[in-house]
Amino acid sequence: MTTIPTLTTARLTLRAPRLSDFDAYAEFRASDRARFVGGPNTAIEAWGQFIGLPGQWAIRGYGRWIAADRATDAPLGVVGLLYPVGWPEPEIAWSMFETGEGRGLAHEAALAARDYAYTTAGWNTAISLIDPANTRSVALAERLGCRPETDYQHAIFGAMQIWRHPAQAEGRAA
């Protein structure tokens, strides 16, 4: 059994997924908002993706958390460390649900995830793989101090851009 660590920020708890998070997750995956992460998806497809969240922790020793409201524990998105088959390098990834958007929460969660990657997981570098049409993620990558590095053609997602995160010493200043 893998223990998924819990991180806290000013407004969020990054924690292991719970069954009670699935409805919010499935709602996100079924919406057009999921188009940049392979959606929209059926509830059955979303279930497979949802249970894969703790699976990456078990296999790789790191993964993505549910970003939950620290006061209410309501699930607001999925943020963390991702390295699936077909990715060029390990990634810091984020997907915020509609209820979590527009308040700077993705930035707060991504900073915590990046700090975890560099200080706990032992990463020296990280990317975020972003569809150039995903202007919200591009803006967040820029706010995180990332720089576009190169184009990447993904077999399923098509044209993407690799955004390089600052190195550890630089990353703490973001």
Judged by DSSP in three states, 10 sits in coil
User: What pLDDT, on a 0 to 100 scale, did the predictor assign at position 38?
Assistant: 85
Domains and CATH numbers, the chain: 8-124 (3.40.630.30)
pLDDT band at residue 10, thresholds of 50, 70 and 90?
Answer: very high
pLDDT, mean over the chain: 94
* Tens-digit pLDDT profile for residues 152-169: 999 888 999 999 999 876
State the Cα–Cα distance between residues 48 and 46, nearest whole angstrom: 5
- pLDDT tens-digit map of 63-109: 999 999 999 999 999 999 999 998 999 999 999 999 999 999 999 99
The stretches of the chain forming alpha helices (DSSP H) are 22-30, 43-60, 105-119, 135-143, 168-171
Give dist(CA 42, CA 59) in Å, integer.
Answer: 25
Q: What is the mean pLDDT of residues 50-54?
A: 96
Q: 3-class SS at 83?
A: coil
Nearest Cα residue to 90 out of 50, 67, 123? 123
Q: How confident is the model at residue 26 (pLDDT cuts 50, 70, 90)?
A: very high
Query: How confident is the model at residue 171, as a pLDDT?
Result: 46
The reported pTM is: 0.94
Contacts of 94 (CB under 8 A, 6+ apart): 77, 78, 79, 106, 109, 110, 113, 128, 137, 140
Residue 120, pLDDT score: 96
- Confidence check: pLDDT of 173 > 80: no
Which pLDDT band holds residue 150 (cuts at 50, 70, 90)? very high
What single-letter amino acid sits at 96?
M
Count of beta carbons in the 10 Å neighbourhood of residue 44: 8
